């Protein structure tokens, strides 16, 4: 009897341990983005296939990158959630239909600096190999060095000069973030990477240009922010991962904290 | 219950069990190893597969001997109930058995050491035609490849997120990281080395089989470490030049040094 009880106990303990470990593994494997699914506006467009125009699904996604988590809509919760000071995308859980053209219009509100890998200064994987960059420049700010010699001109709304550039790269120093998407083992191969130009900061670190107050507790973001538009085509179902490749975080090569956390500067794009 | 200790050890029975298990082990080593490991596309990978086979074949009779002792003992000397006989005399007093055991082990391990050193030397002394440099940069969570040969042939830089190398030409890799330590691994080419920030590691390989092969990161590097995957394309020289010419010119923007 003692032998039987010991055998039963050891078997149950082994099974219980295996279940616990399997549960942890499954939970990690299904690590989910932190925000609600976002599908944008779905419609149709046409593309040329073998010389003929064919109808194809089109998805318009409106994204934004902010210097903190206090923006309108508050996906991180009241007062910016657990990390109100973390830089953040406004959506991290993107869902699009299979075989569709995805157009992203991305408003970029953050300052930046130089990339540590020139690879991400190029536009990659988009239709036509280009993106359209809409930026604001100011007198006294040098785009090649990202140096502004004056203090912030927040009251001079008409002082900025808007420029639009369609190019296969962002040719200047000032990158705020990137949108870089890659396939995991489950999805057809795809790499899309677009640099997101920064907003100028003055010599004291404040944002250049007039500010606005889009969030609930009084923070400000530049009215004259940068906007980037690009399109790419997705194929069959699968899950892609995306993140920002401009290292503006802390720890682990400046890719720690917000840079390595779903819901902030990393997320997924699910093709269904 | 009869006292089974009176049953003498049957060398023939033991050797029969040992021989069968050894044969099974050698068969699994020879047939199973190539099936389990990635397909070979270079001399290094071929050497790696062959080394695993040789080491497994060398280990097969040793493992078979241990299992044969277990099986024989369970079959011949198991007991139930009262009157379990005492243990037999320890082998340490048996000079012949101990000498044989130590001698065979020494010969075996010496053989494996020499084989391993020879295989390692073979991997490091890569020398092939038309050596081409590829600079590899690891970053959370993407591999990028720069081809200096493009500057010579096309007068502009080429960067890509996939590795493209010509068949039977020596490829020399300079590998680094711009943030944390990554592990650059191309299983089918049999090459793996760390990508360390602020340092350059090197390796060389001559691919000898056309095809598409995985490149993975094998050093845990953060949230999307498992997605740090790309492809290596081994193509003909003509296909490589066609691909290189089709790549857009890479105009590097200002870059900063590694920030810690």
pLDDT digit string (tens) for A51-81?
889 999 999 999 999 988 888 776 787 778 8
The 10s digit of each residue's pLDDT in B136-184 is: 999 888 999 999 999 999 998 899 999 999 999 999 999 999 889 999 9
The structural domains of chain B, with segments of one domain joined by +, span 5-124, 132-258
Classify B21 in phi/psi space as left (phi over 0), alpha (psi -120 to 50) or beta: alpha
Asked if the bond preceding B141 is cis, omega within 30° of 0, the reply is: yes
B107: number of Cβ within 10 Å? 10
The 10s digit of each residue's pLDDT in A168-195 is: 999 887 899 999 999 877 678 899 999 9
Residues of B in Cβ contact (< 8 Å) with A169: 251, 253
A233 close to A104: Cβ distance less than 8 angstroms: no
Report the pLDDT value the prediction gives residue B20, as an integer from 0 to 100.
97
Stretch B77-98: mean pLDDT:
79
Chain A residue whose CA is closest to B254: A173
CATH placement of domain B132-258: 2.60.40.420
Angle at CA of residue A230, ends A228 and A235, nearest 5°: 150
Report the pLDDT value the prediction gives residue A77, as an integer from 0 to 100.
75
Question: A114-123, A262-271, B14-23, B59-68: lowest mean pLDDT where?
Answer: A114-123
Residues of B in Cβ contact (< 8 Å) with A175: 253
- Name residue, tokens 């080593």: B29
Question: What six digits make up the tokens of A47?
Answer: 């593309």
Of the candidates A117, A193, A241, the beta carbon closest to that of B224 is on A241
B200 in reach of chain A (CB within 8 A): no
Chain B residue whose CA is closest to A183: B227
Report the pLDDT value the prediction gives residue B241, as an integer from 0 to 100.
95
Report the pLDDT value the prediction gives residue B182, as an integer from 0 to 100.
96
Report the pLDDT value the prediction gives residue A27, as an integer from 0 to 100.
81
Report the pLDDT value the prediction gives residue B7, as an integer from 0 to 100.
64
Q: Which run of H or of E encompasses A53?
A: strand A52-66
**Computed from CA positions of residues B143, B148, B154, B155, in that sequence, does the dihedral angle turn out positive or negative?**
positive
Report the pLDDT value the prediction gives residue B157, as an integer from 0 to 100.
87
Mutation target for B interface from A30, A117, A174, A270: give the one with most B CBs within 10 A.
A117
Task: Dump the DSSP string for chain B.
Answer: ---GGGSPP-HHHHHHHHHHHHHHHHHHHHHHHHHHSPPP-BHHHHHHHHHHHHHHHHHHHHHHHHHHHHHHHHHHS---SS-PPPP---GGG-HHHHHHHHHHHHHHHHHHHHHHHHHHHHHH----SS-EEEEEEEETTEEEEE-THHHHHHSSB-EESSEEEETTS-EEEEEEESSS-EEEEEGGGTEEEEE-BT--EEEEE-B-S-EEEEEEE-S--STTGGG-EEEEEEE-HHHHHHHHHHSPPB-PPPBPPPP-
Report the pLDDT value the prediction gives residue A141, as an integer from 0 to 100.
81
Report the pLDDT value the prediction gives residue A152, as an integer from 0 to 100.
57
Report the pLDDT value the prediction gives residue B254, as an integer from 0 to 100.
43
Chain A residue whose CA is closest to B223: A260
B6 in reach of chain A (CB within 8 A): no
């Amino acid at each position: 009897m003692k032998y039987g009880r010991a055998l039963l106990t050891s078997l149950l303990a082994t099974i219980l341990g295996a279940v616990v470990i399997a549960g942890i593994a499954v939970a990690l494997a299904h690590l989910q983005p932190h925000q609600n699914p976002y599908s944008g506006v779905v419609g149709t467009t046409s593309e040329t296939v073998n010389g003929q125009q064919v109808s194809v699904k089109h998805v318009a996604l409106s994204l934004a990158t902010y210097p903190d988590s206090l923006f309108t809509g508050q996906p991180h919760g009241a007062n910016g959630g657990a990390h109100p000071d973390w830089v953040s995308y406004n959506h991290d859980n993107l869902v699009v239909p299979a075989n569709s053209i995805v157009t992203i219009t991305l408003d970029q509100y953050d300052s930046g600096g130089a990339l540590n890998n020139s690879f991400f200064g190029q536009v990659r994987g988009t239709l036509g190999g280009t993106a359209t960059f809409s930026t604001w420049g100011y007198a006294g700010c040098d785009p090649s060095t990202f140096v502004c010699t004056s203090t912030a001109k927040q009251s001079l709304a008409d002082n900025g000069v808007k420029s639009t550039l369609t190019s296969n790269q962002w040719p200047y120093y000032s990158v705020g973030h990137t949108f870089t998407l890659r396939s995991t083992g489950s999805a057809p191969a795809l790499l899309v990477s677009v640099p997101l130009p920064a907003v100028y900061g003055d010599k004291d670190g404040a944002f250049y240009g007039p500010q606005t107050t889009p969030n609930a507790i009084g923070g400000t973001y530049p009215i004259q922010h940068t906007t980037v538009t690009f399109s790419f085509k997705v194929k069959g179902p699968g899950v892609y991962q995306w993140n920002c490749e401009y290292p503006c975080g802390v720890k682990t090569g400046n890719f720690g904290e917000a840079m390595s956390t779903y819901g902030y500067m990393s997320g997924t794009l699910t093709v269904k | 219950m009869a006292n089974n200790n009176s049953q003498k050890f049957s060398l023939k029975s033991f050797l029969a069990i040992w021989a069968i298990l050894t044969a099974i082990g050698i068969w699994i080593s020879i047939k199973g190893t190539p099936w389990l490991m990635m397909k070979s596309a270079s001399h290094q990978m071929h050497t790696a597969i062959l080394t695993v086979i040789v080491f497994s074949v060398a280990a097969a009779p040793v493992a078979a001997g241990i299992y044969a002792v277990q099986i024989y003992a369970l079959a011949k000397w198991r007991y139930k109930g009262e009157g379990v006989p005492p243990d037999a005399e320890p082998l340490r007093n048996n000079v012949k058995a101990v000498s044989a055991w130590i001698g065979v082990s020494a010969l075996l391990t010496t053989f494996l050491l020499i084989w391993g050193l020879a295989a390692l030397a073979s991997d490091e002394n890569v020398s092939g035609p038309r050596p081409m440099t590829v600079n590899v940069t690891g970053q959370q969570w993407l591999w990028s490849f720069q081809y200096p040969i493009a500057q010579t042939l096309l007068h502009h830089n080429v960067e890509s997120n996939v590795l493209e190398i010509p068949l039977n030409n020596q490829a020399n890799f300079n590998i680094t990281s711009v943030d944390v330590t990554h592990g650059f691994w191309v299983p089918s080419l049999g090459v793996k080395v760390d990508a360390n920030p602020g340092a350059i590691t090197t390796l060389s390989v001559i691919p000898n089989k056309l095809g598409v092969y995985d490149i993975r990161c094998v050093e845990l590097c953060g949230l999307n470490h498992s997605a740090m995957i790309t492809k290596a394309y081994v193509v003909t020289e003509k296909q490589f030049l066609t691909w290189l010419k089709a790549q857009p010119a890479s105009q590097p923007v200002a870059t900063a040094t590694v920030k810690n």
